[in-house]
Chain A
Amino acid sequence: MNDEHIRARFETLMLPLMNDAYNLARWLMRNSQDAEDMVQESYFRAFKFFGSFREGTNARAWLLRIVRNTCYTALAGDERKGREVPLEEELNEIQDASPLPPVILSRKATIEAVRAAIAELDTDFREAIVLRELEGLSYKEISEVTDVPIGTVMSRLSRGRDQLALLLSDRKKNDQL
């Protein structure tokens, strides 16, 4: 396969997954600037390793695995350096086009509350929840991306959902939902 073919195949298979890559990176890095850097780096790495991509491989799982590894490598480096990871106000992330009708306002408030609850989850649970609920991956795909057996995926999702339900019911009690 020549260079042009590889490039065309990369474009067809990998570029449509930009949003998924960004979403995962954003949830793992917990701020948009780092997420952007990670997505760029992930795409460069994906392009470099694309020669090893075989027809029939699940493209989404393949790319998200690279994104995840790139993020964790960076996070581990930050930890060693003791760098504070900037956390953004989730509020700024949703476009504010006021005045909004009350129905949309309440939807916006719900989204903020749910996002805040997901952000509070332990990393293992958070990534399982994001991959399942926001990315719609199967257990097998999650197991490929996160490099753990399907049984572990199952228990992480289960415990993650328990944690999330608890966090959200606390918010409900405080009238935030």
Chain B
Amino acid sequence: MNCQECRDYIDPYFDSELDTGDAIRVGQHLRDCLVCRERLQSREALKSLLGDPQLKFEIPETLREKLVSRFRPPAASLKERFERKYIARRIFVPLALAAGITLLFGLVFLNKNGRFELLNAPSLVDEVVAGHVRSMLATHLLDVPSTDQHTVKPWFDGKLKFAPPVRDLADHGFRLIGGRLDYLNGQEVAAVVYQKNKHIINLFLWPAQSNGNGSPRSFSRNGYNVIHWNRDGFDWWAVSDVSATDLAAFEGLQRQ
């Protein structure tokens, strides 16, 4: 590869957009060519200036609220619709309730291991995705913004009845950016927040009801990827708009 070719390839090389063959050829040329190496260094210097998240313009609060209220049905109207829908079935509700209770008793009685994963898993996936979306819509994604695991972990102490594991995976491209309390599955849970490039990953954690087999299960909802596993006495739920592959890698790193 000559310098002209390298010049053409330096940006996609820098952005990890080259296929492996070309990336190797650029790498070889860079090893031998000071001029092109300097060009790469100037790209790195520029990147460090452009990496400041404050460069992005924040949407004004008034506009955010306007859009949310325009495109999200207000809670009251949802309630009304719900009531309208079910008022005609008033008689069936007590019947259904009775049947539900009977079924529940039956399950408790029959379920020797006390495991209800199969029952609640699908709706929980939706709840976890909703939790992620909510955190992206709210003005504060983080209660404790910090890239230091030794700041984030103690922060949860005293706020939760359990101590969630928090680790920094910046070396692997998943930067810890902080933590937050959230409410899922009928309890207070820890949300440990990571960033991969510009994408946010919420890792929700709470004490597991039972010890699962530990093998992760992946889900996909409306363009969000979710991965769930059970380990070290915790239920782990990672949700993000990163690719399923990236999220699986994230899960692998959390296991190490």
B57, B71, B136, B199: the one contacting A35 at CB < 8 Å is: B57
A12 touching B56, Cβ below 8 Å: no
Q: A161 and B46 in contact (CB under 8 A), knowing A39-B59, A114-B55, A134-B56? A: yes
Interface size bracket, A side: 35 or more
Cβ B71 vs Cβ A10 within 8 A:
yes
Interface status of B122 (Cβ within 8 A of chain A) = no
Verify if B58 is at the interface (C-beta below 8 Å from A): yes
Asked whether, in the complex, the Cβ of B59 is within 8 Å of the Cβ of A19, the reply is yes
Shortest beta-carbon distance from B80 to chain A in Å: 13
Q: Could you tell me if A18 and B59 are in contact, using CB atoms closer than 8 angstroms?
A: yes
From DSSP, what is the main secondary structure of chain A's interface residues?
helix
CA–CA, A45 and B188, complex, Å = 38
A88 to B137, CA, bound (A): 27
Q: Mark A59-75, 1 if CB is under 8 A from B, else 0.
A: 11000000000000000
What is the minimal beta-carbon distance from A47 to any residue of chain B, in angstroms? 7
* Chain B: minimal CB distance from A139 (Å): 5
A16 closest partner in B (C-beta):
B136
B67–A39 CB distance below 8 A: yes
Chain A residues contacting B31 (CB-CB under 8 Å) are none
B25 in contact (CB, < 8 A)? no
| Chain B nearest CB, measured from A135 CB (Å) | 6
B12 contacts partner chain A, Cβ-Cβ < 8 Å: yes
Q: Which residues of B contact A27 (CB under 8 A)?
A: 57
Interface string of B96-129 (1 = CB under 8 A from A): 0000000000000000000000000000000001
A36 to B62, CA, bound (A): 10
Report chain B residues within 8 Å CB of A164.
46
Query: Which single residue of chain A is at the shortest CB-CB distance from B200?
Result: A16
What is the bound-complex CA distance between A134 and B46, given in angstroms? 13
Which residues from B are CB-within-8-Å of A110? 49, 52
Contact assessment for B222 and A13 in the assembled complex, using a CB-CB cutoff below 8 Å: yes
Is A138 an interface position by the 8 A CB rule? yes
B150 within 8 A of A: no
For A39, list chain B residues within 8 Å (CB). 59, 63, 67
Question: A125 on the interface (CB 8 Å rule)?
Answer: no
A10 to B33, CA, bound (A): 51
Considering only residues 9-29 of chain A, those with a C-beta below 8 Å from chain B are 9-16, 18-19, 21-23, 26-27
- B64 neighbours in A (Cβ, 8 Å): 18
- Inter-chain contact B57/A12, CB cutoff 8 Å: no
Query: Chain A contacts of B73 at CB under 8 A?
Result: 4, 7
B25-59 contact mask (Cβ, 8 Å, vs A): 1 or 0: 00000000000000000110111011110111111
Nearest opposing residue in chain B for A135, CB measure:
B198
Contact of B68 among A13, A15, A35, A139 (CB under 8 A): A15
Given that A7-B71, A136-B198, A168-B49 are known contacts, is A15 also in contact with B137, CB under 8 Å in the complex?
Answer: yes
Closest CB-CB distance, A2 to chain B, in whole Å? 12
**Which residues of B, 76-110, contact A by the 8 Å Cβ criterion?**
none
Inter-subunit contact A154/B12 (CB<8 Å): yes
Q: How far is the CA of A161 from the CA of B90 in the complex (A)?
A: 66
Query: Contact at B198–A111, with CB atoms within 8 Å?
Result: no
Q: Assess whether A134 is in contact with B199, with CB atoms less than 8 Å apart.
A: no
Q: Quick check: is B1 within 8 A (CB to CB) of the other chain?
A: no
Q: Which residues of B pack against A, CB within 8 Å?
A: 8, 10-12, 15, 17, 42-43, 45-47, 49-52, 54-60, 63-64, 66-68, 70-73, 129-130, 133, 136-137, 197-199, 221-224, 241
Known: A11-B72, A157-B15. 20 other contacts (CB 8 A): A9-B222, A11-B71, A12-B221, A13-B223, A18-B67, A22-B59, A26-B57, A39-B59, A39-B63, A43-B70, A43-B71, A55-B222, A111-B52, A134-B50, A134-B56, A139-B17, A154-B11, A161-B11, A165-B42, A165-B45
